Amino acid sequence: MSRYQLQRSLTPPFMSDFAREVDQLQESIHRMFDKPFTLGATRFPRIETLAWVPPVEIMECETEIVMAFELPGLDKEDVTIEIDDGVITLRGEKKSELTEEDEKKEFFLKERSYGLFERSFSLPPTVNVERVAAVFEKGVLRITLPKSEVEKPRGREIAIQVR
């Protein structure tokens, strides 16, 4: 039992609120020097993420739609892209980089997420699925969805009939 734990256990129950707060502050300071990371770690709530979902940006211009997915730490082999019945689906897995040695360590803050992911988007009928292309660079997967050549209606003069 450490000095401050012993001292705290001997604190009388009738201690004033102010004295109790000073005692708690002193205990926190002692704890900070004994285990420097535990005090800081208590400030961060533990966030448990159910699944990792890669963020996406979707941009459209006159000739194409571009989807950009952030996939940090993944390689192209970790991801598949499928188009079926007007729906584009991105599937993959972000695997943990931790080793068996790392698993034995105590984490004070763990915000990174891992696991299987799947994102699907309906495509407009104007997308030419035969010309879709994907490029993976610097952790960003960019999918280009060219639009089909849509025949623009030509202007014409309409004859006015008299009755």
- Between residues 89 and 112, the one the model is more confident about: 89
User: What CATH number labels 56-146?
Assistant: 2.60.40.790
Which amino acid makes up residue 117?
F
Specify whether the CB–CB gap between 54 and 116 falls below 8 A. Answer: no
Bigger pLDDT: 162 vs 28: 162
- Locate tokens 């020097």: which residue? 33
> Given this model, what pLDDT does residue 39 score?
45
Spatial distance between the Cα atoms of 61 and 64, rounded to a whole number of angstroms: 6
Question: What are the structural domain ranges in the chain?
Answer: 3-43, 56-146
Contact (CB, 8 A) for 10 and 23? no
| Residue 56 burial by Cβ neighbours in a 10 Å radius (0-12, 13-18, 19+) | middle
Q: Are 94 and 26 in contact (CB under 8 A)?
A: no
User: What span, in angstroms and rounded, lies between the C-alpha atoms of 76 and 90?
Assistant: 12
Could you tell me which residues come within 8 angstroms of residue 79 by beta carbon, excluding any fewer than 6 positions away? 71, 90, 91, 92, 136, 141
Burial call 23-36: b when 16+ CB within 10 Å, e when fewer: eeeeeeebbeeeee
pLDDT tens by residue, 90-135? 999 988 877 777 777 777 777 778 889 999 999 999 999 999 999 9
Task: Please say if the pLDDT value at position 3 is more than 70.
Answer: no
Residue 115 CA to residue 135 CA, distance in Å, equals 22
Render pLDDT for 25-77 as a digit per residue (tens, 0 to 9). Answer: 788 777 767 665 554 444 444 444 456 789 999 999 999 999 999 999 899 99
